[in-house]
Amino acid sequence: MRLKVLGLMAALLPLAACNLTSGGGASVADAGVTDALIAQVPEGEWLSYGRDYGEQRFSPLTQITDANVGQLGLAWFHDLDTARGQEATPLMHDGTLYISTAWSMVKAFDAKTGALKWSYDPEVPRETLVRACCDAVNRGVALYGDKVFVGTLDGRLVALDQKTGKVAWSKVVVPNQQDYTITGAPRVVKGKVLIGSGGSEYKARGYIAAYDANSGKELWKFHTVPGNPADGFENKAMEAAAKTWAGEWWTLGGGGTVWDAITYDPTTNLVLFGTGNAEPWNPAASGREGDSLYTSSIVAVNADTGEYVWHFQETPEDRWDFDSAQQITLADLNIGGQQRHVVLHAPKNGHVYVLDAKTGQFISATPFVMVNWATGIDPVTGKATVNPAARYEKGAPFVSLPGAVGAHSWQPQSFSPKTGLLYLPVNNAGFPYAAAKDWKATDIGFQTGLDGYVTSMPADAAARAAAMKATTGTLVAWDPVAKKAAWKVELPSPSNGGILSTAGNLVFQGTAGGDFVAYSADKGKQLWSFPAQSGIIAAPMTYAIDGEQYVAVMVGWGGVWDVATGVLAHKAKKQRNISRLVVFKLGGKSALPAPPPMAQMVLDPPPFTGTPEQAKAGGELYGRYCNVCHGDAAVAGGVNPDLRHTAALNAPEAIRSVVIEGALQHNGMVSFKSALKPEDADNIRHYLIKRANEDKALEAR
């Protein structure tokens, strides 16, 4: 019987002394982007993903304040040529604004006028989408010397000339182009470009590597999980990690991918990075037991050599997709009367961690949402005690709080040294887990070992209403010293944008509902908002040129919440993708064009003529291979097609041509013939028809 889920429960671095005109200064332009500049960013610029090495996403600019932010207006905008989720943080150097877009494209603009200077398209094959868990997104570029660096979805690291956008060098940096992708922003340290990869839902073995900024030559690599013991271990860290695994974990890679968070600490010369989930999620699917190091952890390595220094595992024996790949922030805090140089981290598992940045010593961990997967945190070691009921592979399905999307996902946090608060984009959303029976790995699609059919949302009004009510978002201002929230803003939907805080006592965040909002940083009072016409999941940034401060953010709904969560993706309102870059300043007078009308899609499926057995078989296959892109229970978000509406439901041969023969490979829908037979495609069609008719009846009530 299908599980009816009735409710988802939801070191401050010194700044260079310079004025607002520093963005065009000759000394900055002549030297290019250096380590010294990234460490002490000229206050008008934004040189790295989190602005500087500390990844605080705090700007010292004060022209725009809580007193005048109501005068903020649109200075300029640029519509993008890719209708997918937009997750990048723009960078600004020497008067030029650099962005990456979905499909790993890069553009450079005059930061004052918005004039396009150049554009680069790496021409990522659209079939790459099948191995991208969470949309064709890209989180940003890196600047160093006279180059711009971008990681591409299909696994290349590309260096471009900052002035022209011409390719200086390009290199495939993933182990293979079947299981790995790159969506994260590179970081550059001491002439080394640092990047990892995504792929922990496939057959990936996590790693982080450093490449020479001038040539692309690999300089060092650190794996995050051990390989096959028969091949020997690369270092003592891998040998130690192997003792925390069981079964033949290496056959599926093990996971632990470094898909986002990378922070360099000049104080300790350490590179700190967060690792992804263990793979498969369901430990029983591969015989995995133990803590599974170094998955769901923060790991520190020597920046010069890549040698292991310390680690702290935040989620032992991960089986819930509780990545620790969220942004890692450095700060100097007075804790217990002692000044401490610390790491601030809020991973998916729902706790704010404070660690010593040099040693990884545990200082504190406090839940910032409701948590039921763990019963507590050891106050000395910081290790979580796993709730026995959360080990779903040993018994009944389990609805976890938080869920797989995470209490805090990839959307960046911000720390203000002025208020001492950590600003978090929080998701209040549970997730149901059930172990698949007789599961076997295949060479395409997610390899999680879960039963996505048993836990799918039923066509039940009460279940849907309960799930909607329990699924929300929150902007939380967290005091890491007092270990509690200073203030909160409740939001109707999860998957809201990342955060920017400024010395003007402001916090900026975009929402899933399409508003760009400014709050007072000390109290959380809403001061200003702008309707952006599409959901905002990216994080804002701010810069200054010729005495004027600007605030910029990428607009464009998409990402994992849209593609995978179905009806819950529309919690705020029915959403669509309008991808653009928007830039604001005081007194800005530009205006967005009127949005096109929403397409009205009416459910009008053919009658269900299959058998219950066919629909069940099709639902099980849909839950394993289809729902990650087309939504839970066949209810799609706003970016990918909703298969309940496809005309192919009327034609078995049409479904087979797509699923088996790959007729739409050019759009990213590749052939699944290595895992599915023609009769499987027919069963999926029967399931879609049955589900469409159920939802049509539900809507008619």
pLDDT attached to residue 7: 36
Residue 26 pLDDT grade (very low, low, confident, very high; cuts 50, 70, 90): very low
Distance, CA of 42 to CA of 420 (rounded, Å) = 22
pLDDT attached to residue 599: 77
Distance, CA of 553 to CA of 51 (rounded, Å) = 14
The pLDDT of residue 530 is above 90: yes
Secondary structure of 219-255 in HEC code, one letter for each residue: EEEEECCCCCHHHCCCCHHHHHHHCCCCCCHHHHCCE
The pLDDT of residue 565 is above 90: no
Convert the pLDDT of each residue in 138-167 to its tens digit. Answer: 999 999 999 999 999 999 999 999 999 999
Angle, nearest 10°, between helix axes 678-699 and 652-659? 120
Based on the fold, state whether residues 480 and 544 are members of the same structural domain: yes
Looking at the domain assignment, is residue 489 inside a domain?
A: yes
Looking at the domain assignment, is residue 136 inside a domain?
A: no
Based on the fold, state whether residues 401 and 416 are members of the same structural domain: no
pLDDT attached to residue 574: 66
In the predicted model, what is the mean pLDDT of the chain? 92
Based on the fold, state whether residues 336 and 369 are members of the same structural domain: yes
Distance, CA of 686 to CA of 627 (rounded, Å) = 15
Amino acid sitting at position 131: R
- Helix, strand, coil percentages for the chain (3-state, nearest 5): 20, 30, 50
CATH of the domain at 245: 2.140.10.10
- Structural element, H or E, at residue 30: helix 26-31
**With contact defined as beta carbons under 8 Å apart, do 620 and 686 qualify?**
no
Based on the fold, state whether residues 346 and 484 are members of the same structural domain: no
Looking at the domain assignment, is residue 638 inside a domain?
A: yes
Convert the pLDDT of each residue in 42-61 to its tens digit. Answer: 989 999 999 999 999 999 99
**With contact defined as beta carbons under 8 Å apart, do 205 and 233 qualify?**
no
pLDDT attached to residue 10: 32
Mean pLDDT of 228-235: 96
Looking at the domain assignment, is residue 445 inside a domain?
A: no
The first and second tokens of residue 389, run together, are: 């009921």
Mean pLDDT of 421-441: 96
Residue 6 pLDDT grade (very low, low, confident, very high; cuts 50, 70, 90): very low
Mean pLDDT of 497-507: 98
Based on the fold, state whether residues 188 and 325 are members of the same structural domain: yes
Distance, CA of 630 to CA of 426 (rounded, Å) = 24
Amino acid sitting at position 426: V
Based on the fold, state whether residues 423 and 332 are members of the same structural domain: no
Looking at the domain assignment, is residue 260 inside a domain?
A: yes
Mean pLDDT of 455-471: 89
- Structural element, H or E, at residue 485: strand 484-491
Based on the fold, state whether residues 216 and 300 are members of the same structural domain: yes
Q: Which stretches within 582-677 are classed as H helix?
A: 612-625, 627-630, 652-659
Distance, CA of 251 to CA of 253 (rounded, Å) = 6
Convert the pLDDT of each residue in 586-643 to its tens digit. Answer: 999 999 999 988 877 889 999 999 999 999 999 999 999 998 899 888 888 888 888 9
Please give the share of the chain, as a percent, with pLDDT higher than 70. 95
Based on the fold, state whether residues 551 and 618 are members of the same structural domain: no
Convert the pLDDT of each residue in 76-126 to its tens digit. Answer: 999 999 999 999 999 999 999 999 999 999 999 999 999 999 999 999 999
Q: Which stretches within 220-370 are classed as H helix?
A: 236-242
Residue 353 pLDDT grade (very low, low, confident, very high; cuts 50, 70, 90): very high
Looking at the domain assignment, is residue 459 inside a domain?
A: no
Convert the pLDDT of each residue in 192-216 to its tens digit. Answer: 999 999 999 999 999 999 999 999 9
The pLDDT of residue 514 is above 50: yes
pLDDT attached to residue 572: 56
Is there a catalytic annotation at residue 321? yes
Looking at the domain assignment, is residue 104 inside a domain?
A: no
How many domains is the chain built from? 3
Strand partners, 260: none
Domain that holds residue 334: 174-408
pLDDT attached to residue 566: 77
pLDDT attached to residue 58: 98
Based on the fold, state whether residues 258 and 322 are members of the same structural domain: yes
Please give the share of the chain, as a percent, with pLDDT higher than 90. 83
What are phi and psi for residue 328, nearest 5 degrees? -105, 120
pLDDT attached to residue 120: 98
The pLDDT of residue 479 is above 90: yes
State the virtual CA torsion across 437, 443, 445, 446 in degrees, nearest 10: 50
Distance, CA of 280 to CA of 297 (rounded, Å) = 16
Looking at the domain assignment, is residue 523 inside a domain?
A: yes
pLDDT attached to residue 573: 62
Q: End of a domain among 538, 554, 589?
A: 589
pLDDT attached to residue 367: 98
Based on the fold, state whether residues 563 and 626 are members of the same structural domain: no
Based on the fold, state whether residues 22 and 56 are members of the same structural domain: yes
Amino acid sitting at position 534: S
Query: One of 94, 321, 682, 695 is an active-site residue; which one?
Result: 321
Based on the fold, state whether residues 585 and 550 are members of the same structural domain: yes
Distance, CA of 538 to CA of 536 (rounded, Å) = 6
CATH of the domain at 652: 1.10.760.10
86-90, 367-371, 421-425, 669-673: the lowest-pLDDT one: 669-673
